Structure 1
Amino acid sequence: MKTLLVPIDHTAAAEHTLAYANKLAVRWPAEVVLLYCHPTAPGIQAAAAEPAEQEQRLRSLVERLRYQQLTRQDGRRIRYRYRLVGGCLHDHVQAEAARCAANLVVMGLEHLDGGRQAAPGNHAAAITELVTCPVLVVPPGRRTLPSRLVFSTDFSALNPHILPRLSALHDAFPAPLDLVQFYSPGQRPLRRQLKQAVGRAAAQLTWPAATAHLLEDDAPLEGISEFCHRHQAQLLIIAPANAAQLLRYFDSCYTTTQAYHTRIPVLVLRPQERQATVSCCERCAERLGQPKPQAALPDYHAVRWA
């Protein structure tokens, strides 16, 4: 059973996030796990309702939204689970994602965490760094599931583990996919290598309709926003190398001017972390902890050559 973990609060923007997750749950299909973190700060502790009341509010919200934009038959097929914890989402999302074996985290762009409003994108970047599964960031507003997708990244440095994870999402997003690689004017001598990297990625993806594009632009972020606008893409997929790159997608200059890529959902893919080597006994642990001896190189000057 595929699982969607949906962090939620009682704001209007959260309703749009849940409505989008409902459509994904029907399309995939998947189970929806609603995660609500109620504030526990001293100043607002008295205003926090009892867990039973909070769960009842979530159930009422679910029953209202599941049939609002879905047919009654589709709404009945969705299975929900509820998780209520105290504190900030940052403190619980990693454990909750592992607990329910989440395949995808669906969260809002502007999420209230513990009663504190974070800048757009900062909260999403922080949550993305904490979980290993893909994270779908949904901006406020009603929207349909995408009919055209754009995947933009540096394919020459792309982690190979990301492509199978993207292929696994095809059932949820069965739409044409554009693979876009940007390069600066100074990278013109590398065009052949970059084109080969995009071609290899398209060949490895099990995506029926994937098209590769190699475009020159000295401002890749503005370029991908214009490309999405020109092709009317409804979902942007990115694979940032670090949190700083993700934050640039939601920089205040783009959110203030409502750039196109901030008005559509963004799917963030992160490579899986390599697991540490596990020893089977104390002796093996001691051996693994010892530094590896350096290879002894032959001393050619000490050899008497005939």
Structure 2
Amino acid sequence: MKTILVPIDHTAAAEPTLAYANKLAVRWPAEVVLLYCHPESDGMAAAEKALDVQEQRLRGLVERLRYQQLTRQDGRRIQYRYRILSGCLHDYVQAEAARCAADLVVMGLEHIDCGKQAAPGNHAASITRLVTCPVLVVPPGRRALPARVVFAADFTALNTDILPRLSALEGAFPAPLDLVQFYSPAERPRRRQLKQALGKVGAQLTWLTTTPHLVEDDAPLEGVGEFCARQQAQLLIIAPNSETELLRYFDSCYTTTRAYHTQIPVLVLRAVERQPQVACCARCAERLEQEHTKALLPDYYAVHWA
């Protein structure tokens, strides 16, 4: 059973986030785990009462949205679990994602945590850093599931460990996938290398339809929005190499001007962190050391000399 973890608050942005998660849960299908973190109250009795009140509010929201934009039969099929905790979301989300074995986190672009409103995208970026599964950031407003998906990345430096996770999401987003690689005019001599990297990634994905695109643009972030607008994409997939790079997608200059890519859901893929191998004995330690040394040395026999 697939699992969607939905961190939620009681702001107006919570409704479109949960409505979008409901549609995904029906299509995939998946179970929805709702995670609500309430600011800590003074006294244990007051805290327990506050959590009970918030759980009832959350259950009321779920029952109200269960059948909105869905047929009654689909709404009944969705299974929900509730996690109501006292504290801040960023203190719990990592453990809760592991606890429910979340395949996907769906959260709003604008979210209040610890009673504070962060700048659009900042909170999502911090949550993405804490969990290992993909994070889907949903902007305010009602929207249908995507009929066109764009995956924008530097495919020459892409960690291919994320590709199986992306392939696993095809059932949730069964739409044509456009792979787009931006390059500057100075990188024209690398076009062949870029094209090969695009082809390699496309071959490893199990997506039904993938189309590679090489786009010359010296301002990739502006180019992403323009490309998504031309393709009429309803979902953008990105694989940033750092939290700073992720925050640039939601920079105030783009949210203020309502750039196209800030008006559609953004799926953030995080590279899988490799765990270091640990030797169980002296012989294994010697073997690992030899493998490490071999990896550092150039393999001259693999080079095709002219």
C-alpha deviation, 1:170, in angstroms = 0.3
- Pairwise mapping of residues 1-306 of structure 1 onto structure 2 (< 5 A)? 1-40=1-40, 49-278=49-278, 280=280
Provide the rounded CA distance (Å) in 2 between the counterparts of 1:279 and 1:205.
33
Provide the rounded CA distance (Å) in 1 between the counterparts of 2:236 and 2:95.
27
C-alpha deviation, 1:151, in angstroms = 0.1
Provide the rounded CA distance (Å) in 1 between the counterparts of 2:4 and 2:188.
42
Provide the rounded CA distance (Å) in 2 between the counterparts of 1:106 and 1:279.
38
**Deviation per residue, 1:143-195 (Å, 9 max, x gap):** 00000000000000000111111110000000000000000111111111001
Provide the rounded CA distance (Å) in 2 between the counterparts of 1:158 and 1:255.
26
> Taking structure 1 as reference, are residues 187 and 49 closer, same or farther at Cα in structure 2, changes over 3 Å only?
farther
- Is this contact kept in 2: 1:178–1:213, CA < 8 A? yes
The residue type equivalent to 1:203 in the other structure is A
- Is this contact kept in 2: 1:40–1:48, CA < 8 A? no
The residue type equivalent to 2:206 in the other structure is T
Provide the rounded CA distance (Å) in 1 between the counterparts of 2:10 and 2:131.
23
C-alpha deviation, 1:49, in angstroms = 4.8
SS of alignment partner, residue 4 of structure 1: strand
C-alpha deviation, 1:51, in angstroms = 2.0
Instruction: Point out the structure with max Rg over C-alpha.
Output: 1
Provide the rounded CA distance (Å) in 1 between the counterparts of 2:106 and 2:225.
22
- Is this contact kept in 2: 1:39–1:48, CA < 8 A? no
- Is this contact kept in 2: 1:34–1:82, CA < 8 A? yes
C-alpha deviation, 1:99, in angstroms = 0.3
The residue type equivalent to 1:64 in the other structure is R
With normalisation by structure 1, the TM-score equals 0.90
SS of alignment partner, residue 156 of structure 1: coil
Provide the rounded CA distance (Å) in 2 between the counterparts of 1:120 and 1:173.
24
Provide the rounded CA distance (Å) in 1 between the counterparts of 2:218 and 2:163.
26
Provide the rounded CA distance (Å) in 1 between the counterparts of 2:189 and 2:142.
44
- Is this contact kept in 2: 1:38–1:48, CA < 8 A? no
SS of alignment partner, residue 31 of structure 1: strand
- Is this contact kept in 2: 1:151–1:177, CA < 8 A? yes
The residue type equivalent to 2:70 in the other structure is L
Provide the rounded CA distance (Å) in 1 between the counterparts of 2:87 and 2:269.
26
C-alpha deviation, 1:203, in angstroms = 1.1
C-alpha deviation, 1:258, in angstroms = 0.3
- Is this contact kept in 1: 2:41–2:47, CA < 8 A? no
- Is this contact kept in 1: 2:51–2:86, CA < 8 A? no
List alignment gaps of at least 5 residues for structure 2.
Answer: 295-306
Provide the rounded CA distance (Å) in 2 between the counterparts of 1:143 and 1:269.
21
- Is this contact kept in 1: 2:109–2:137, CA < 8 A? yes
C-alpha deviation, 1:50, in angstroms = 2.5
Provide the rounded CA distance (Å) in 1 between the counterparts of 2:98 and 2:59.
23
List alignment gaps of at least 5 residues for structure 1.
Answer: 296-306
- Is this contact kept in 1: 2:47–2:86, CA < 8 A? no
- Is this contact kept in 1: 2:184–2:218, CA < 8 A? yes
SS of alignment partner, residue 178 of structure 1: strand
> Taking structure 1 as reference, are residues 116 and 47 closer, same or farther at Cα in structure 2, changes over 3 Å only?
farther
The residue type equivalent to 1:230 in the other structure is R
4+ residue stretches of structure 1 with deviation over 4 A?
45-49
> Taking structure 1 as reference, are residues 273 and 67 closer, same or farther at Cα in structure 2, changes over 3 Å only?
same
C-alpha deviation, 1:277, in angstroms = 3.2
Provide the rounded CA distance (Å) in 1 between the counterparts of 2:174 and 2:41.
43
**Deviation per residue, 1:66-107 (Å, 9 max, x gap):** 101110000000000000111111100000000000000000
SS of alignment partner, residue 12 of structure 1: coil
- Is this contact kept in 1: 2:105–2:136, CA < 8 A? yes
Worse-superposed segment, 269-278 or 237-246: 269-278
Provide the rounded CA distance (Å) in 1 between the counterparts of 2:10 and 2:49.
12
